[in-house]
Amino acid sequence: MSAQIIDGKAFAAKVRGQVAEHVTRIKEENGITPGLAVVLVGEDPASQVYVRSKGKQTVEAGMNSYEHKLDADTSQDDLLKLIADLNADKDVHGILVQLPLPKHLNEDLVINSIAPEKDVDGFHISNVGLLGTGQKSMVPCTPLGCLMMLRDYHGSLSGMNAVVIGRSNIVGKPMAQLLLGDSCTVTITHSRTKDLPAVVRGADIVVAAVGRPEMVPGDWIKPGATVIDVGINRIDKPEGGTRLVGDVDYASCADVAGAITPVPGGVGPMTIACLLANTVTACCRIHGLVEPEGLTA
């Protein structure tokens, strides 16, 4: 293996430390405690784990955490009423509705009912538009975490060829916008892309957000390229049990790449750290306070 490992776990700890420092300052100087409300509808086990982890890390960073757990059959009107209450609540600076929602609820409508300045997931259509036009916005947590790691490793990304594999609204598209904002030449690829290996071979930066275990082999990677693996896939181990793997084949890619994020311990921890960063950023913007440096795009 020749690639340098980009340690997302350590980086996330550093980001959480910066958030906690800023929270302390806001509390002492302004008497304000940033607050994050997380709304979970139903009992999806993976979502429950994420929500618990988000709540714990929010409190550890010195912020208030408000969890709202609703039954799986909660009506759209009741959910919208809760969001309206949270929008009006002065103690709440960030609102996150855990996705996916049960099928009878309209996800777009729900997300777009969150006040844009409290939309710490960055999925509200206003924030999507602001990001797309290069204006100050709330930035989706996973791509923001990827960008922070890339900036930390490379310094400037200007002029680099970046290939994003995947065009989802939560990862692929905002990732491409962020890379474009940092003056990369960006190609977005997807399931209909012709000759994906050739496209990826031209990349100085590869961001894989596909949801297919170990899909990208080392021989697609340009020697020395930086590989950011967003994928989280649980696969069966031959000896029984399961393990997590990314969207790239770690062993063969690490042989060729200049730097690579592992799974687990890469993008995953950065996502929650960026949620905390977005909450403190939202709090600062709402109250007209100085924003923490280096914690947004």
Rounded to 5°, the CA angle 265-267-271 comes to 115
Which residue of 26, 97, 165, 175 would you call a contact of ligand NDP, by CB under 6 A? 165
Name the one residue in this structure whose structure tokens are 């967003």: 230
Active-site residue 54, yes or no? Answer: yes
Q: What's the min distance (Å) between Cβ of 159 and ligand NDP?
A: 25
Please state, as a whole number, how many other Cβ atoms lie within 10 Å of the Cβ of residue 114. 26
Q: 210 vs 253, which CB is nearer to ligand NDP? A: 210
Query: Quick check: 273 and 12 in contact, CB under 8 A?
Result: yes
Sheet with 226-229, edge to edge strand ranges: 4-5, 259-260, 226-229, 205-208, 161-165, 185-189
- Residue of 57, 98, 119, 173 with catalytic role: 98
Q: In DSSP terms, which residues pair with 162 in a beta bridge?
A: 186, 205
> Binding string, 215-254, against ligand NDP, x = CB under 6 A?
---------------xxxx-------------x-------
Q: 192 vs 237, which CB is nearer to ligand NDP? A: 192
Contact positions with ligand NDP (CB under 6 A) in 72-111: none
Q: What's the min distance (Å) between Cβ of 217 and ligand NDP?
A: 13
Query: Quick check: 165 and 216 in contact, CB under 8 A?
Result: yes
Please give the Cα distance from 183 to 200 (Å, whole number). 18
Task: Tell me: does residue 168 bind ligand NDP (CB under 6 A).
Answer: yes
Active-site residue 98, yes or no? Answer: yes
Active-site residue 18, yes or no? Answer: no
Please give the Cα distance from 146 to 270 (Å, whole number). 8
Q: What type of residue sits at position 192?
A: R
Q: What's the min distance (Å) between Cβ of 275 and ligand NDP?
A: 10
Which residue of 142, 226, 278, 279 would you call a contact of ligand NDP, by CB under 6 A? 142
Which residue of 35, 62, 172, 292 would you call a contact of ligand NDP, by CB under 6 A? 172
Q: In DSSP terms, which residues pair with 186 in a beta bridge?
A: 162
Query: Quick check: 184 and 206 in contact, CB under 8 A?
Result: no
Binding window for ligand NDP (CB under 6 A); candidates: 78-86, 179-187, 235-243, 266-274: 266-274
What residues make contact with ligand NDP under the rule CB under 6 A?
142, 165-168, 170-172, 189-193, 196, 209-212, 230-233, 247, 267-268, 271
